[in-house]
Amino acid sequence: MNYKSGFVAIIGRPNVGKSTLVNKIIGQKIAITSDKPQTTRSRISCIWTGDDAQIIFVDTPGIHKPKFKLGEYMLKAAEGTLNEVDAIFFVIDATEKFGGGEKYILERLNSTTTPVILVVNKVDLIEREKILPIIAEYSARRNFAAVVPISAAEGTNVDALLDEAKKFLPEGEQYYPADMVTDQPERLIVAELIREKILHATEDEVPHSIAVDIDEFTQREGGTIFIRATIYVERDSQKGILIGKGGAMLKLIGKQARPEIEMLLGTKIFLDLWVKVKRDWRNSVGALKTFGLKEF
């Protein structure tokens, strides 16, 4: 049996479960998740290695019409993957009706010859008899290379989805070692985990006005890793929300982030969080580059 290696882009509207799917495939948290749209900001490569194939998954930002420079970057990052991969997972939410967002993505998919697999996610949340009409509606709009209904949260049919992806991969050796699960630096993943906890803790009060920058990441005597991170917001009122009364919110964010960072790094950490105001950073190309969005 010849080994295969290749790249698969995961695209879809914001909040359809792309990052949840990536984490389920890889078997650990790499991409952050939230019930808020547009959680993922960068193209994050995650690596799945099997006995017969290695697949590098590119988890893209949700495709949406941009309102800020940040949004323009996210759209560019998502659309830039379409012709650079061997296959595309177009992930849709089975609980949502077809709308302008799906039409917008399909229009962009029509410009690529890359095989597109329709991934109908969240089928655990609807009645089984509703799945076929959803598939029929999308299939009438495009001839997909394959259609796979899944539940990323429960792992249902994820193995079948991997089998479909393998069909479109070229024969070749592994790009990465078998034990490697991402090509992203640990600092970036740590920053993203902190940002995830902020999204969870603050609900709609500071949804996308935050960025996290790792100022220090050093191993100290005894093996503990010291991490100093600065959380940037756009307004003084947002800074107050993040700090909370007597620093309570900032302590909660640190408490929730610490265990997952320790699991990622495999060692104890000391997490030092700070909050600063950088006005209108989402419209600043320089700020976006500072925060690791270097493709902008």
Contact 266, 250 (CB under 8 A): no
Query: Within a 13 Å sphere around the CA of 67, how many CA atoms are in the beta-carbon half?
Result: 4
Q: Is the pLDDT of residue 41 over 70?
A: no
Contact 90, 78 (CB under 8 A): no
What pLDDT was estimated at residue 135?
97
Strand ranges (E), the chain = 4-11, 44-49, 53-59, 87-93, 116-121, 146-149, 211-219, 225-233, 269-277
Average pLDDT, the chain: 83
What pLDDT was estimated at residue 18?
87
Q: Supply the pTM of this predicted model.
A: 0.66
Q: Is the pLDDT of residue 192 over 80?
A: yes
What pLDDT was estimated at residue 38?
42
> In whole angstroms, how far apart are CA 177 and each of 25, 38, 58, 181, 183?
17, 31, 17, 9, 11
Q: Is the pLDDT of residue 76 over 90?
A: no
Name the most confidently modeled range: 93-97, 177-181, 281-285.
Answer: 93-97
Measured in degrees and rounded to the nearest 5, phi and psi for residue 63 equal -75, 125
Helices (H), strands (E): how many in the chain? 9, 9
176: tokens are 């990465």
CATH number of the domain at 186-290, out of 1.10.3720.10, 3.30.300.20, 2.60.40.1180, 3.40.50.1860? Answer: 3.30.300.20
Q: Is the pLDDT of residue 281 over 80?
A: no
What pLDDT was estimated at residue 199?
84
Residues 220-234, mean pLDDT to the nearest whole number? 90
What is the CATH T-level fold of the domain 4-166, as seen in this structure? Answer: Rossmann fold (3.40.50)
What pLDDT was estimated at residue 125?
97
Q: pLDDT tens digits for 198-212?
A: 888 886 666 567 888
What pLDDT was estimated at residue 105?
87
Q: Is the pLDDT of residue 83 over 90?
A: no
Domain ranges of the chain: 4-166, 186-290
Q: Is the pLDDT of residue 174 over 90?
A: yes
Residues 138-151, mean pLDDT to the nearest whole number? 97
Task: Name residue 41's amino acid.
Answer: R
Task: Name residue 72's amino acid.
Answer: E
Beta bridge partners of 47: 56
Nearest to 30 by CA among 200, 256, 196: 196
Q: How many CB atoms lie within 10 A of CB 122?
A: 21
**What are the residues whose beta carbons fall under 8 Å from the beta carbon of 140, sequence distance 6 or more?**
none
Name the most confidently modeled range: 168-177, 262-271, 281-290.
Answer: 168-177
